[in-house]
Structure 1
Amino acid sequence: MAFRAANGSDAPRSHGPEGEGSGRNAFLGGLPFAVMAVVGSVDLLAGPGVGYLPLLSLGPAFASLSCTVRRTAAVGGLALLLCIALAYYDRILGTRANNLTFVSIVGVIAASMLASAFRERRERELADVRTVAEAAQRVLLRPVPRRVGPVRVAVRYVSAVTHARIGGDLYEVVMTANGVRLIVGDVQGKGLEAVENAAVVLGAFREAAYDEPDLPGVADRIERALARQLTGEQFVTAILAEVQPGQIQLLNHGHPPPLLLGSDGTIRVLDPPVPAPPLGLGLGDLAPGGAEPHAVRLGVDDQILLYTDGVTEARNQQGVFYPLTDRVGDLDAIDPESMLDLIQKDLVRYVGAPLGDDAAMLLLRRRTI
């Protein structure tokens, strides 16, 4: 399990998974030859009286796991040559038993080539799907610059869907005439429907953030967009924020409260003064007066950590939720990127398994200049 960094092109990239994949491919590529070498050696050491020739079929069988069709056929050809040479050494060449062994190896070679062909086709299809997913990712969850106005920003995101790059959690940071505005949200549900709803929220935010004079206006535009998209009792929890000189305005719609990490080491949970329902539950039905933002002082080098419930609802092997507020107090870093790296590593160690839900974290730090 690995969180994806979502900052700009200068953000560090992790090469761990790619290195592991290369090592695994090298191992699988050499495995057929190693197996046949072991079979040949054992047959030679055992002497002419004992034959291990049927085990040579393991060579092309293992080759089908990672090799191309041609390479699998080449491995099969080598297995046949070894079969002939060892049969001559065992003095069974041309016997009925040897002929049956030869035919069985040919059958395994044919099956392995077919399996290799199907695997290659599936890998090409998967590569095409990943290309589309990466394109969708760039549109839906665009890279966030490390510096936006008076703050430094870092983001981490992981999808609960295996091999997926995007899911139901969302984030965005934009620089507007009113200052830095951002959103962190969590769409109810998972899969493609959650991705579609996340796209609606982000599209509405990216437009409204530049047009509306205040955060309630931005939230209202998102609410109206969701009213045309959502069905039934679907909803989106979200926090909208606006960075102003010396403070940050927060508008919380049913989302986990952010944490204020003070430069003096204090940690404060930023609960909203008046709870507001999630977005998408109906215009004015549950909050006829409208949600109001609240201001929080943001000093130099203070940090604001926004996150989704995939972080705080992650459980360890004993079923205990990840205590983010307690754990983050033991972590310290000089910049948002390093801080999120520490939180990520601590969360992975705590859970000890893939997360069961999408998870996103966005960390703001007020710059000294």
Structure 2
Amino acid sequence: MIVAVCLVDVLAPPDVHLGPLLVGAPALTAAFSGPRTTALIGALAVAGQVAIGLARGTLGTENLLAQIAALILVSALIVLFCVVRERSRHQLDQSRTVAHAVQEVLLPPLPERSGPLRMSSLYLAAQDEASLGGDLYAAARTDDSTRLLIADVRGKGLAAISHAALLLGAFRAASHRRPTLPRLAVHLDGAMRWDSRQWQAEEAPDTDEAFATALLIDIPDREDVVRVVSCGHPAPVLFAQGRADTLAAETVAPPLGLGGLTGATAYAVASFPFRPGDTLLLHTDGVLEARDADGAFFPLSARAAVWARDEASAQGVTAPDDLLARLRDDLLAHTRGRLGDDTAAVAISREEL
């Protein structure tokens, strides 16, 4: 660009001056390069302006000197902009690194195997720069079973992350003591209520109640069954023999953190068959509430039925990784890549022990 402007300016008639176009060279460079390269191109542009003055014999005129001074000033401002941008980009990269490290600590990927189970997890953040929100999942291994938690904490931002971390820690600490699922739910409910109220004055009303919908799952190694306690959470989907069925529990308890509002809460355990070759899909409400451009919700039941038929026609087992990949692709296609809420999902398949 610098060479072209200089040649055209020198060959043009005396009353045509294209030298001011040289300012576009450092401006364009700043769009795709750093401050050093931009400064170099700015210096070459100034040299080109000087070369035009020498070729035309107008180097000492006030007009050309003013053009050179303006080009130097604008190039310096563009380089300064590049320096500020690079610092901001570096800070953003550091923030992303920290956020990724926090996610790895709070929400690490589930182990691929646990006894006779194969597991896979998926997390989709609604915000482009976010990597963790109020959706969470965790797994814990006992002597003869695998326990899982999937939950969705009310709210967003740092408060939701704080409550999510609390639930994850309480679940991991309590699961290894092998309490029953109802006792585990009571423990998690108490942890949520204690955390949200410990700093409130006794006379002050609860103005910011913290709660989380949750599913507690227990899958024994030697029994073809899955046990579920639902605390206001979307029901899981079971893929078995070419079908996709929603495992809706008859009794649904209040979300964790709200168990004390109506007195003692009875956490009922629902049991469903879970045989070798079956796959269980757990998910948060970000899946069900994902909307397309027309405002229509994501049709999980219909899409799950299609996935199940496809696997049955291929005479294959619905693998956890493949199931979550199809869920992710269909969700992003339905919403055109713009999720309205964070989304978490866990897929578990049983193999022969």
Give me the identity figure in percent.
36
C-alpha displacement of 1:296: 0.8
Contact 1:309 1:359 in 2 (8 A): yes
Cα distance per residue 1:196-230 (max 9 Å; x no partner) = 00000000000111113311121111112111212
Which residue of 2 is the match for residue 255 of structure 1? 233
Which residue of 1 is the match for residue 350 of structure 2? 366
C-alpha displacement of 1:61: 2.3
SS in 1 for 2:196: coil
Change (3 A) 1:218 1:178: farther
Change (3 A) 1:39 1:198: farther
C-alpha displacement of 1:188: 0.5
User: How many Å separate the matches in 2 of 1:146 and 1:48?
Assistant: 75
C-alpha displacement of 1:49: 4.9
Which residue of 1 is the match for residue 24 of structure 2? 58
C-alpha displacement of 1:358: 0.5
AA partner of residue 274 (structure 1): T
User: How many Å separate the matches in 2 of 1:162 and 1:228?
Assistant: 33
Change (3 A) 1:42 1:368: farther
With the length of structure 2 as denominator, give the TM-score of the two structures: 0.88
User: How many Å separate the matches in 2 of 1:45 and 1:352?
Assistant: 52
Describe how 1:202-281 pairs up with structure 2 within 5 A: 202-230=168-196, 232-244=208-220, 245-262=223-240, 264-281=241-258
Query: Are residues 1:182 and 2:148 paired?
Result: yes
Which residue of 2 is the match for residue 8 of structure 1? none
Cα distance per residue 1:46-103 (max 9 Å; x no partner) = 5665322212212222333443332221121111122223344455433322222211
Greater mean alpha carbon deviation, residues 218-227 or residues 88-97? 88-97
Q: Aligned match of 1:327 in 291, 303, 311? A: 303
Query: Are residues 1:345 and 2:323 paired?
Result: no
The higher radius of gyration belongs to 2
- Structure 1 alignment gaps of length 5 or more: 1-34
AA partner of residue 211 (structure 2): F
Greater mean alpha carbon deviation, residues 48-57 or residues 109-118? 48-57
AA partner of residue 360 (structure 1): A
User: How many Å separate the matches in 2 of 1:131 and 1:62?
Assistant: 30
User: How many Å separate the matches in 1 of 2:282 and 2:22?
Assistant: 58
C-alpha displacement of 1:287: 6.1
Cα distance per residue 1:78-130 (max 9 Å; x no partner) = 11122223344455433322222211111111111211121122122222222
Contact 1:277 1:287 in 2 (8 A): no
SS in 1 for 2:130: coil
Query: Are residues 1:313 and 2:297 paired?
Result: no
Describe how 1:1-369 pairs up with structure 2 within 5 A: 36=2, 39-40=5-6, 43=9, 49-89=15-55, 92-230=58-196, 232-244=208-220, 245-262=223-240, 264-283=241-260, 285-286=261-262, 288-331=264-307, 332=310, 334-369=318-353
Cα distance per residue 1:21-45 (max 9 Å; x no partner) = xxxxxxxxxxxxxx54664566467
Change (3 A) 1:45 1:172: farther
User: How many Å separate the matches in 1 of 2:88 and 2:264?
Assistant: 53
Greater mean alpha carbon deviation, residues 341-350 or residues 93-102? 93-102
Contact 2:279 2:319 in 1 (8 A): no
User: How many Å separate the matches in 2 of 1:341 and 1:90?
Assistant: 66
- Paired residues, number: 333
Change (3 A) 1:355 1:45: farther
AA partner of residue 249 (structure 2): P
Contact 1:161 1:191 in 2 (8 A): no
- Structure 2 alignment gaps of length 5 or more: 198-207, 312-317
User: How many Å separate the matches in 2 of 1:42 and 1:287?
Assistant: 86
